[in-house]
Amino acid sequence: MQATTNHLETIGPVKAVVLDWAGTAVDYGCMGPAAVFVDVFQRFGIRVTVAEARQFMGLEKKAHVRSLCGLPTVVGQWRETYGHEPSEADVEALYRETEPMMVAAIARHADPIPGLLPFVDAMRQRRIRIGSCTGYTAPMVKVLVPTAESRGYRPDAVVCASDVPAGRPEPWMCYLNAMQLRTYPLAAMVKIGDTLSDIEEGRNAGMWTIGLTQSGNMLGLPEAQVRALDPDDLNQRLVAIGWRFQAAGAHYVARGIWECAPLIDAISRRMEMGEHPDGTQARRR
């Protein structure tokens, strides 16, 4: 007997998008979180570079601290300073410092990225719902959401890492977004983010994915510094970032949210032709 897929006939057009927060919707360059991790480890006498801190961006914040504690450079410094490798108790101690500092940083880095509000308007015109998810925890989101709303941005659903059993790259935040938005199947949804873990999360949830190369963590520069770069240098950096997103499974890459509305339309067209994000074709009646 020939095996058959269990897909719906066609699932288009796009029904919902799920946006990451820092580096995707707000905080151009994802500047707030990176600085916090550097400062927290410095309080413990441990040097962590911004580049090292950015490696794990997108993860739930305690998982981020734990991942930094596993870096050979951090392990070596910790052993020299404290006589042992970082333990789970050390992770907890670091995180206790991280959370209040992150809350303060979020309040200073909640400006919408240029192009966000026009993108939201474009989605509203298409009757596409807007969800959101983040590696931030509930106390952080409690500050972020009203601050962003005061500046014009309020998604239809807000899910954070502490709302689910595990954060990225596991798919649970995307699933909870679908529930809150009352949207299905997930193959009719698009995840947009600026980290590799965003793409992995979206793919694990069975969604279409778009990786952002310029506005977020992968480039890691504020808007003014991006504009000051030599255009050829910038383009080379963005191409290299794009390759990394594609290797992680991104269906599309864009410089920032300002380029995403046409990509949503392109995804809708592919869906209406019967294509699913896993590359299979829908059954025909």
d(Cα 49, Cα 137) in Å, to the nearest integer?
23
Is 98:65 a contact under the CB 8 Å cutoff? yes
Cβ burial, residue 247 (10 Å; 0-12/13-18/19+): exposed
159-160/189-193 β-pairing? unpaired
Is 129:168 a contact under the CB 8 Å cutoff? no
Counting every residue, how long is the chain? 285
pLDDT at 129: 98
Residue the block writes with tokens 């509203």: 124
pLDDT in tens, 190-213: 999 999 999 999 999 999 999 999
Q: Global pTM? A: 0.87
* Planar angle of CA 201, 15, 117, nearest 5 degrees: 85
Instruction: Please give the biggest Cα pair distance in the chain.
Output: 68
Residues belonging to the active site: 20, 61
pLDDT at 1: 38
Query: What is the DSSP code (8-state) at residue 188?
Result: G
Percent of the chain with pLDDT over 70: 95
| Domains, in order of start, for the chain | 16-30+111-272 (3.40.50.1000), 32-108 (1.10.150.240)
pLDDT at 3: 40
Mean confidence (pLDDT) of the chain: 92
Rounded to whole angstroms, what are the CA distances from 162 to 126, 166, 176, 216?
Answer: 31, 8, 12, 22
Q: How far does CA 231 lie from the centroid of its chain?
A: 26
Non-local (6+) Cβ contacts of 21 within 8 A are 27, 132, 133, 134, 136, 144, 148
Is 82:94 a contact under the CB 8 Å cutoff? no
pLDDT of residue 5 exceeding 50 = no
Q: Three-class SS of residue 134?
A: strand
CB atoms within 10 A of CB 188: 25
DSSP 256-279: SGGGHHHHHHHHHHHHHTTB-TTS
pLDDT of residue 108 exceeding 90 = no
pLDDT in tens, 9-53: 567 799 999 999 999 999 999 988 888 999 999 999 999 998 898
